[in-house]
Amino acid sequence: MSLFISNAYAQAAPGAAQGGGFEMIIMLAIFGVIFYFMLYRPQAKRVKEHKNLVNSLSKGDEVLTQGGIVGRITKVTEEKDFIEIALNDTTNIVIQKAAVSAVLPKGTMKAI
């Protein structure tokens, strides 16, 4: 069929390693260790710190929410995971405990 083009056949490499399975396992193990120390461990640490922060909320704490709202906690409900925050003397809002990003030092609301 090919009048002008000759057929090309692949040759076996003379010194190619046929194994390679052990090297692949070592490489996957190294990637797993890198993944653990660079991604999983720091994220798990942040989640644990935030959980401790949420569990330590109490009445009278001044907090900053993820939405940027600063207020003082006036009511904490343990069974429903909600807190009531006073923004000023007349305005109160109810938010989830998980929406609190930081507990501020006492007197921060007066300084703002």
| Full-model pTM | 0.68
Give pLDDT, residue 13: 65
Q: Give 76's DSSP letter.
A: E
As a whole number of angstroms, the distance between CA 112 and CA 101 comes to 18
As a whole number, mean pLDDT of residues 70-98 equals: 92
| Residue predicted with more confidence, 22 or 10 | 22
Distances from the Cα of 107 to the Cα of 9, 20, 102, angstroms: 82, 64, 14
Give pLDDT, residue 111: 83
Scan for tokens 């991604």, then name that residue. 39
Scan for tokens 């930081």, then name that residue. 102
* pLDDT at 78 exceeding the cut of 90: no
| Residue predicted with more confidence, 12 or 112 | 112
Give pLDDT, residue 99: 94
**What phi and psi values does residue 8 have, to the nearest 5 degrees?**
-110, 130
Give pLDDT, residue 42: 95
Cβ(67)–Cβ(54) under 8 Å?
Answer: no
Domains with residue ranges and CATH for the chain: 57-111 (2.30.30)
Reported as a single tens digit per residue, the pLDDT across 16-74 is: 555 567 888 999 999 999 999 999 999 999 999 999 999 999 999 999 999 999 999 99
As a whole number of angstroms, the distance between CA 95 and CA 7 comes to 75
As a whole number of angstroms, the distance between CA 52 and CA 65 comes to 16
